[in-house]
Amino acid sequence: MLPRGVNQTKNGTAEETAKSARNTALNLGVKTASVTTELVREWNDDGHLLDAADAAALDASDALVEERAYGEGIGAGVPLTDASVQAAAGAYLATRPLPGRVAAWSLGPGTGSPDGRTAVVVLTGQAQIPVVSPVLSAFGGGVSVTVTSSARSDLQP
């Protein structure tokens, strides 16, 4: 005798098998995402990428645009443009060595000055995470990590 609620028909067995397969795939996907998230969090705790973005934003926050400074005056802060922030941040990052677990980095979309006074640096790095990167190499490489930092140089009268 079968336990109550167990269906012995072919349709019931096929449905249960399909449901079990879906649940297994879902559980595997969630566990993989959790492990990857934890590894990226552990890697980023070192702060290498965020430190670089912070320093690049700070360096770019005083990238004075002379034409604007002489034409409009300085006012309460250093006048910036998207181009001046991108150039200063790029030049800064070019002088800084890549951290140990970062294969490459680049400035991302959004790097610039949204208000003409604040330097925003979006930095994307390809992280080489020891456990995950060998598995991901079949799919094109490491894990992409993006951080954003902003800095502002205000002037005191």
pLDDT in tens, 81-122: 899 999 999 999 999 988 877 778 899 999 999 988 899 999
- 154 confidence band (pLDDT: 50, 70, 90): confident
The set of residues, in sequence order, having a beta carbon less than 8 Å from that of 87 and lying 6+ positions away, is 63
Asked whether the predicted pLDDT for residue 39 surpasses 70, the reply is no
Percent of the chain at pLDDT > 90 equals: 24
Give the Cα separation of 129 and 136 in Å (integer): 10
Across 50-59, 92-101, 137-146, least confident range: 137-146
Give the Cα separation of 53 and 44 in Å (integer): 13
E strand or H helix at 57: helix 48-60
Give the Cα separation of 95 and 72 in Å (integer): 32
